[in-house]
Structure 1
Amino acid sequence: MAGTLLAPPSGVPLEKLVQVAMERGYTAQGEMFSVADMGKLAQEALGCQVEHLCGGLGGPNRARVLQHLVSGHPLLIPYDEDFNHEPCQRKGHKAHWAVSAGVLLGVQAVPSPGYAEDPELPGLFHPAPSTLHQPPSLPEDGSPGAVYLLSKQGKSWHYQLWDYDQVRDSNLQLTDFSPSRATDGRAYVVPAGGVQAGLCGQALLLTPQDFSR
């Protein structure tokens, strides 16, 4: 999904990604419990630039993540997936990956010029394509319900809007390997230090190879 956003409209076939990951020893069943390995896979298979974010999605990383999404680039996030694909907190037992392709910001006033109101949803404004526009001011940290990530998990048919704080909290509590996976008789690639070392509080910022920061 991230590949399609980086190099539309083709992307990279899932089969190729899995093949490269298996050849490099990153995965055995398609699982990916290492953000570092996922970053190396993205660089090699998607030909993109990768920034490995550590320390969670809060604090100083929050502005970095939001500016990245406002610029139109995808974010890869490990999190615990609830039954409806939204973030939950299961200590890593339901760890999955999601891609965020955009952000919805609740702001006091719409910056102008360069923004157009949605014809179907009053009060919703989009950056006008091919028009110079001032980046919106980011809502203050701690303002509940003001930031939503436009995100999608691989098994979901649709993008969803996830509250930023819920995503942050889910990403920050990935500590344990699923007991059901540990006893299913299959082999999995888990990094030294386990799920906590491989996933907890980490994410990937992806940008096209020719993009200059």
Structure 2
Amino acid sequence: MASPCSFPSKPTTPPRTHTPQAPVIPPPLPPNPLDLALPSPPCSLQAPIPPPPPLPPQPSAVEVAPPRVYGLEKSRLLQEALEKAGPVPKGREDVKRLLKLHKDRFRSDLQWILFCADLPSLIQEGPQCGLVALWMAGRLLLTSGSIPLERLVQVAMERGYTAQGEMFSAADMGRLAQETLGCQTELLGGGLGGPNRDRVLQHLITGYPLLIPYDEDFNHEPCQRKGHKAHWAVSAGVLLGVQSVPSPGYVEDTELPGLFHPVPGIPHRPPSFPEENSPGATFLLSKQGKSWHYQLWDYNQVRDSNLQLTDFSPLRATDGR
């Protein structure tokens, strides 16, 4: 994969069935903070004006802005959720939270290496999960500025890739990424397993994102519903379980013994990838447009969900839209 972009493919226009494919992938960018304005309180003319309260401390450079919500003005529920949510967690911190919360999912006989790039968050409104995933990947790839989601929607509609923002074709997604982001993409046929697996893992540990169509379960994790719950996610990292961590170039986490991170700026030897059928040893660090938290998904679970995207949802086919 010689590029800034890549996606496992899914169905290509309703309501036909399709041969499952796999990913198209896109390169790393910083999020821009949300500007907030606070109204000043009214003052009384009858009493002396008290001195103003001290200004709140300036946010430190490490703080992260809250996620953007596309169409926020239309959704009061999303507005309230955003106000309660606080800042978007960094990838490393979110992974450590997941490791502590779900210890039983991760094998204790292995050491773990985390490769991750920090993705911005954008909460989708309507059937735009694929374009939201592409927007997040684009923020990681572009070195200056960003492409507004509205622009991605506009170009996709002008090219005939979408009617309402949904993306049925990974091939169309790759073409859209190349035109709007100026990146290279690669469409992987045959799924995420077999010879494609090592290419995908190498792509992710290099710091590039992967766009993945899959069936979404109630908790946003991959499931198998024949495409009836088809959704898009973007992966920008991987958690690998290894027998031993190669040296040098890696440092052990100060909070979680057994978890290692590549040291920025220091050459490091890539670890040996776990065998494909080795259970519970390879996890994708992913985000999708219904949550601003990262999730860790078992690689084989994602692979199997991607492979069975064959049908268009009967409910969507008959909803009159």
The TM-score normalised by the length of structure 2 is 0.57
The yes-or-no answer on 1:11 pairing with 2:146 is yes
Contact between 1:3 and 1:12, CA under 8 Å: does it hold in 2?
A: yes
Match of 2:239 in 1: 104
Q: Which blocks of at least 5 consecutive residues in structure 1 are unaligned?
A: 187-213
One-letter identity of the residue aligned with 2:183: C
Match of 1:31 in 2: 166
Structure 1 position 9, deviation (Å): 6.7
Structure 1 position 10, deviation (Å): 3.8
User: Which deviations, in whole Å up to 9, do the C-alpha atoms of 1:82-117 show, x marking residues without a partner?
Assistant: 111110001000101100000000000011100111
One-letter identity of the residue aligned with 1:26: Y
User: Which deviations, in whole Å up to 9, do the C-alpha atoms of 1:147-198 show, x marking residues without a partner?
Assistant: 0000011111211000000000000000000111101111xxxxxxxxxxxx
Match of 2:16 in 1: none
Q: Is the partner of 1:149 in helix, strand or coil?
A: strand
Instruction: Please identify the structure whose Cα radius of gyration is greater.
Output: 2
Contact between 1:5 and 1:11, CA under 8 Å: does it hold in 2?
A: no
Match of 1:82 in 2: 217
Match of 1:119 in 2: 254
Alignment of 1:121-200 (within 5 A): 121-186=256-321
The yes-or-no answer on 1:59 pairing with 2:191 is no
Structure 1 position 118, deviation (Å): 1.5
One-letter identity of the residue aligned with 2:193: G
Structure 1 position 48, deviation (Å): 0.6
Corresponding residue to 1:71 among 203, 206, 209:
206
Q: Is the partner of 1:30 in helix, strand or coil?
A: coil
C-alpha distance 9-95 of structure 1, shift in aligned 2 (>3 A): farther
Q: Which blocks of at least 5 consecutive residues in structure 2 are unaligned?
A: 1-135
Match of 1:199 in 2: none
Match of 1:21 in 2: 156
Q: Is the partner of 2:184 in helix, strand or coil?
A: strand
Structure 1 position 76, deviation (Å): 0.4
- Aligned residues: percent identity? 82
Distance 2:143 2:289 in 1: 18
Structure 1 position 11, deviation (Å): 3.1
Structure 1 position 8, deviation (Å): 5.2
The TM-score normalised by the length of structure 1 is 0.85
More strand by share: 1
C-alpha distance 30-136 of structure 1, shift in aligned 2 (>3 A): same
Distance 2:255 2:137 in 1: 28
